[in-house]
Amino acid sequence: MATPPIKFGILGCADIARKVSRAIILSPNSTLYAVGSRSVEKAAKFAKENGFPETAKVYGSYDAVLDDPDVDAVYIPLPTSLHIKWAVLAAQKKKHLLLEKPVALNVGELDAILEACESSGVQIMDATMWMHHPRTAKMREFLSDNSMFGELKTMHSCFTFAANKDFLENDIRVKPDLDALGALGDVGWYCTRSILWAADFELPKSVLALRGTVFNSSGVILACSASLLWEDGKTATFHCSFLSNLTMDVTVVGTNGTLHFHDFVIPFEERNASFSTSVKSGFAELVTGWEPKPSQHTVTTELPQEALMVTEFSRLVGGIKFGNAKPEKKWPMLSRKTQLVLDAVKASIERGYETVEVMN
């Protein structure tokens, strides 16, 4: 017999919550149950505009969502500075957590959140949607094929977008009291995650932020770059920015093969995502071209990646609620490793671009 859908409550009415609300509707094992905002009018407007069922609960506070005994899980898209308070409180109220990234301002805050989740036996997952696209699993197959890809040598990741004047002046991501990590925490989170994913989540030995970090007048990062070094000599670089044209590139280079994908955070199309691979590439005669040429691969999906994320999260929650399953520890581990690297990059910048060891 099929288990009942997981009932979601949403804390806040951020723009990204509109996308995740749609994902919860599309997911076959979840349902929109409640939304809370600092005003009941704002919550009611959000529910009406985003397809909530008429029976959904609308609350004028975040506490009311957490106090509702029928809410199984909460999605938290609040500013990063508020995560420590509301994520810990949600866990203490036995609510499973789908937490927007960056998950915390630093690993110390994240550890407090993870400890609360572990104590309450609740699942936590960060909302890094591209991890759940079937393309990601398909690319992993290529990277794991020793004859095709070989030994990993270097990785490069870039996520930028050209924010408008209003964003650069008013968005929470440029406010030191709301999202103090700025571009490093927002777009840099994705760059860091893509590099760790390519390295099979082996942490680098050290991180060095590259000179040229751009700050706003409040000291929040608008653009930055970093290099990463592993014990075995492999390397990575990334660049993240609110000041450059929309770019979402990842390159992974091995001794035998190379992987490229150009829309890693949000695919160009919702139902199709591509990547290219090169294997044992060389030059054509007279060095007039490549031989063999790179090959293109397209992966289709019935559900968008954010709905697949919600589906997997709800499956894990359902296993805990209706079965004897324990929370899946993979997801908090991935969040923590990503946060550790962000912390090291931030420390390198603050120390005048010194090399910083990554401490697990």
Cβ 346 vs Cβ 104: under 8 Å: no
Distance CA 194, CA 252 (A): 10
Tokens of 13: 């009415």
- What is the spatial distance between Cα 8 and Cα 65, in angstroms, rounded to a whole number? 10
Least Cα distance to 141 among 301, 275, 300, 293 occurs for 275
Indicate if 101 belongs to the active site: yes
Beta strand spans in 50-117 (E): 57-59, 73-76, 96-99
- CA–CA gap between residue 157 and residue 247 (Å, rounded): 10
Hey, how many other C-beta atoms are within 10 angstroms of the C-beta on 75?
A: 29
Token pair, residue 268, equals 């160009």
- Sign of the dihedral through C-alpha 280, 156, 342, 123: negative
What SS3 state is found at 140? helix
Cα separation of 52 and 206, whole Å? 46
The C-alpha atoms of residue 305 and residue 266 are separated, in whole angstroms, by 9
Q: Single out the catalytic residue among 7, 93, 95, 101.
A: 101
Q: State the catalytic residues.
A: 101
